[in-house]
Structure 1
Amino acid sequence: MAASRLSLRGGGARGKNAASSPAARLSRQADALASAGRHAEADAAYRAALEADPTLGGTRNNHGNTLRALGRIAEAAGAYRAALAHGLDAALVHYNLASALRQLGETGEAEAAYRRALVRQPDHAEAWNNQANLLRDADRLEEAATGYRRAVTLRPDWGDGHDNFGSALYLLHERGAVDAAARLARLWRRDHPGNPVARHIGAAIAGDGAEPRAPDAYVRQTFDLFAEEFDSKLAELGYRAPELLAARVAADGESSEGGLDVLDAGCGTGLCAAALRPLARRLTGVDLSGGMLERARARQLYDALEEAELVAFLSGRPSAFDLIVAADVLCYFGVLEEALAAAARALRPGGRLAFTVEALEAAGDAPHRVATHGRYAHRAGYVRATLATAGLEVAVFDRDTLRMESGAPVAGLVVLARRPALSPG
């Protein structure tokens, strides 16, 4: 959250000529330079204004914002403290100070500054959210979740706030506070029935009945928010699905290098593209998230990229592809029948479908189950039966590790299936 700028107040030039005083004019010039991103020049102008009138609290706050933009965080904290000392006892100054102190690792003082900001402005959603970030980092997860709940109550349409709330509930559940996480998740769903993250993740954490698949709006919102850091985060988790699928396709021995019409289904940022490009006469990617597609487009490996829901996209392209690859895409579907049937129809005779899903190995007979992170896991028997119903023949059906999650390997099913070729004559 960006620091907040304040108008000139809190001491200094007063009376009818205050607005035209040299200090006020210099301060306005500095504000204009800061707004234009010319922070080094703004720094000099703020210093000149404060030399003319050291008591300008608003100028000191705004100078602090510029110092933060220049990466001079300790000086910024000093500027905010000076604004408070010169009588500008405003919520936004306490909030700015708290944010700077958190950057400096002075978490105790930062928490106290957030509290002072919220006493003065209880409806400051960003302050609730950022204080909750601090509490989350200190592993005070129930307090953090409560803070995020306040933030999204104040700003119901704030995607980042809902994402943070869901992440805190997930961590709370993983740490063993299952009842507390479930209670807060049910309140979240009750208070925000139209929010896709609350609807899906709230149900998963509360243990309530899961929907047949993750809502499109949830998938789109989640990955739009995640797009910028997607590749780096998956690298940290040892994500292997693209390479596992590429190896199975290559080992199948029917690559027809450079001659296939290939679909990267749920292509995301394009992590599969490098392996698929040599096989493809035409490589198409489809994804629900426009944010992910922007990054896939930057790879310059696709002939076409489409923003669409996968089943609808496949249903409109009968017998269009020789190879469809879906790396960690069907984990957002619980019920697989519709998706696999649509994929089978979109393949040409002899065409292949390669995909991964997370393996459901827990006791019970449920064919699939949604986990607290919002992804579905599937039983091997259910996947095999659904492939058969869709008219697809299994060529490869392996178990392997897809990535790490909370320090533990995530077991997955790596599948290669084929639409039967037309019989001769």
Structure 2
Amino acid sequence: MAASRLAMRRNAIEPVAVRLCRQADRLASAGRLAEAEALYRTSLAVDPALASAHNNLGNLLRARSGLAAAAAAYRAALRSGLEAALIFYNLAAVWRQMGGLTEAAVGYRVALALDPGYAEAWNNQANLWRDQDRLRDAAFGYRRAVAIRPDWADGHDNFASALYLLHERGDAPVAARLARDWRSDHPDNPMARHIGSAIVGDSMEARAPDAYVRQTFDLFAAEFDNRLDELGYRAPALLAEAVAASGPPPVAGLEILDAGCGTGLCAAALRPFARGLAGVDLSGGMLERARARGLYDHLEEGELVAHLAANPNRYDLIVAADVFCYFGDLATAFAAAFAALRPSGRLVLSVERLEDDDAAMTYRVGTHGRYAHRESYLRAALVEVGFALLDLRVDGLRLESGQPVMGVIAVASRP
């Protein structure tokens, strides 16, 4: 009878605790974290064994940098019987943030022993290996993650990064073998096709696929500005200098296109020259951040050459900061830019400079997926479609692995 009364009492209190936990979940999703934390604790006061409340409280505490308290909440969830793989995964993530790399490795290992199909655990274990410079292990982990979740863009991006590091640090044969397998396993994935071919060294693409560029920059959008700042990115400033040096003082009289505008890093320098400032980019994620600057009159999500072709004789100035590094063959893009400019209109651009002993090679795609161009080819491609070359110079665009990446800055006009 006592056991029966206990069961009846538990059936009566569980719905209340669960209801409170769900309300807390909604508050947390809305960003009302302090209120959510209080409600999780109320839920646990009603039912201290409600495992989901312990876990979700742990997630909230972790988001608020309460790592030790989050770990305690996850351990309480584990004691309360929540799915063990998830809890060990969460614990491993907290331990990694706290610097407990040995404990984190154990946590991921246990999570994967309990659930070998846990793609996120494979990915995060691979992140840990990458941080420890165990790049072969990291590549293996990322490969398992995307095998389980073939459409996971973040997983493919991480795998690409691991293969790039393997290649650049002297393990090129292993990187190439894994890249071939990646390309074979995921033939419809644009990142596997483009980066895989670049690492193997057999790319025949005249330009990076639109789907690859869109996927890459949608993933990169949130951290784009900060990351480029860390790399000492100078292309927008260099192009702004070229615009100022090659034309009249800013009088807000030009129709300007910021080609491949990204998050709008060129906008502030271009705005004083512009009667109308437009931007076009393949990545909707990048355009959201460009729009937030409030400097553009028009922003369009679309492919650059198609946009140029649809706007003949429209612009007085087209600025392309590190956009043509996603094109190998420049002829079609330059012809479209020429047609979109008004007479005396200018094209100001940057590309990465190809420095290679093979003089016959006019451009090459690197293992990072971007194309570098020979200076002589850039000159010839501009002149071939009718441009008059006003200026061309070499300068550093940014740092990569601590070394300067040299680029070519060109200013050309439509006669």
Structure 1 counterpart of 2:297, one-letter code: D
Question: Is the aligned partner of 1:386 residue 2:377?
Answer: no
> Of residues 332, 342, 349 in structure 2, which corresponds to 1:338?
332
1:131 to 2:122 alignment: no
Q: How does 1:262-277 map to 2 (within 5 A)?
A: 262-277=256-271
**Superposed, which structure 2 residues align to 1:138-149 within 5 Å?**
138-149=132-143
Q: Which residue does the alignment assign to 1:6? A: none
Contact 2:392 2:411 in 1 (8 A): yes
Q: How does 1:413-424 map to 2 (within 5 A)?
A: 413-420=408-415
Paired amino acid for 1:204: A
- Report Cα offsets for 1:121-163 as digits up to 9, x if no partner: 1111111111111111111111111111111111111111111
- Does 1:411 find its partner at 2:406? yes
- Deviation digits for residues 332-361 of structure 1 (CA, Å, limit 9, x no counterpart): 000000001111111111111100001101
**Alpha carbons of structure 1 residues 354 and 129: separation in structure 2 relative to 1, 3 Å:** same
Secondary structure class of the residue paired with 1:36: helix
| Structure 2 residue 146 is the aligned partner of structure 1 residue 152 | yes
Tell me the distance in 1 between the aligned counterparts of 2:37 and 2:317: 58
2:126 and 2:142 in contact (8 A); partners too: yes
Q: In the alignment, is the contact (CA less than 8 A) between 1:60 and 1:83 conserved in 2? A: yes
| Aligned residue in 1 for 2:20 | 29
Instruction: Point out where structure 1 has 5 or more consecutive residues left out of the alignment.
Output: 1-11, 421-425
Report the 3-state secondary structure (helix = DSSP H, G, I; strand = E; otherwise coil) of the residue aligned with 2:381: helix
- Are the aligned partners of 1:22 and 1:49 in contact in 2 as well (CA < 8 Å)? no
Stretch moving more, 89-98 or 61-70: 61-70
Amino acid at match of 2:179: A
**Aligned partners of 2:300 and 2:52: how far apart in 1?**
48
Match of 1:188 among 182, 189, 212: 182
- Does the residue aligned with 1:302 lie in a helix, a strand or coil? coil
- The change in CA–CA distance for 1:323 and 1:68 in structure 2 (over 3 A counts) is same
Who is 2:107 aligned against? 113
Find the residue that maps to 2:261 and give its secondary structure: coil
Distance 2:199 2:94 in 1: 33
Among candidates 301, 316, 341, match of residue 310 of structure 2: 316
Match of 1:231 among 205, 225, 228: 225
Matched-pair contact (CA < 8 Å) for 1:13–1:21: no
Paired AA for residue 332 in structure 1? Y
The answer for unaligned runs of 5 or more in structure 2 is none
CA displacement 1:301-336 (0-9 Å, x = unmatched): 111111111111111111111111101000000000
Cα offset for 1:181? Answer: 1.0
My pick for the range that moved more, 125-134 or 371-380, is 125-134
1:355-397 Cα offsets, whole Å, 9 max, x none, are 0001101110210000111100001111111111110011001
Q: Are residues 1:398 and 2:393 paired?
A: yes
Distance 1:13 1:238, change over 3 A: farther
Distance 2:45 2:162 in 1: 46
- Indicate the SS of the match to 1:239: coil
Residue 284 (str. 1) matches residue 278 (str. 2): yes
Equivalent residue number for residue 371 of structure 1: 366
Post-superposition offset of 1:44: 4.2
Q: Is the 8 A contact 1:200 1:210 kept in 2?
A: no
Counterparts in 2 of 1:63 and 1:304: CA distance versus 1, 3 Å: closer
Deviation at 1:52, TM superposition (A): 5.8
1:258 Cα deviation (Å)? 1.5
- What's the TM-score, normalizing by structure 1? 0.91
Note closer, same or farther for the CA distance 1:284–1:14 as it changes in structure 2 (3 Å cut): farther
Match of 2:70 in 1: 76
Distance in 2 between residues matched to 1:270 and 1:63, nearest whole Å: 38
Question: Share of identical aligned residues, percent?
Answer: 61
Query: 1:5 corresponds to which residue?
Result: none
CA contact (8 A) 1:30 1:41 kept: no
Q: Cα distance, 1:84 vs. partner?
A: 3.0
Q: Structure 1 residues 402 and 19 mapped into 2: Cα distance closer, same or farther (>3 Å)? A: same
Match for residue 163 of structure 1? 157
Q: CA offsets per residue over residues 91-123 of structure 1, 9 Å max, x none?
A: 111111111111211111111111111111111
- Equivalenced residues, count: 409
Higher mean Cα deviation, 79-88 or 138-147? Answer: 79-88
Q: Deviations over 1:17-56 (max 9, x none)?
A: 3762435632441342133215444544544555565555
AA in 2 matched with 1:156:
P
Instruction: Give the conservation status (yes or no) of the 8 Å contact 2:20–2:42.
Output: no
**C-alpha spacing 1:45/1:20, structure 2 compared with 1 (3 Å):** farther
Secondary structure at the aligned position of 2:318 is classed as strand
1:17 is paired with a residue whose SS is helix
Where 2:348 maps in the other structure, the secondary structure is strand
2:212 pairs, out of 207, 218, 232, with 218
Write the deviation string for residues 397-424 of structure 1: whole angstroms up to 9, x where unpaired.
Answer: 101111111100011110001111xxxx
Change over 3 Å in CA distance of 1:30–1:254 after alignment to 2: same
> TM-score when scaled to structure 2?
0.93
Q: What SS class does the counterpart of residue 372 from structure 2 fall into?
A: strand
Tell me which moved more, 167-176 or 69-78: 69-78
Q: Distance in 2 between matches of 1:14 and 1:186?
A: 64
Secondary structure (helix, strand or coil) at the match of 2:160 reads helix
Question: Does the residue aligned with 1:350 lie in a helix, a strand or coil?
Answer: strand
CA distance in 2, matches of 1:122, 1:373: 31
Structure-1 separation of matches of 2:50 and 2:272: 64
Q: How big is the shift at 1:16? A: 5.4
The answer to whether 1:241 aligns with 2:235 is: yes
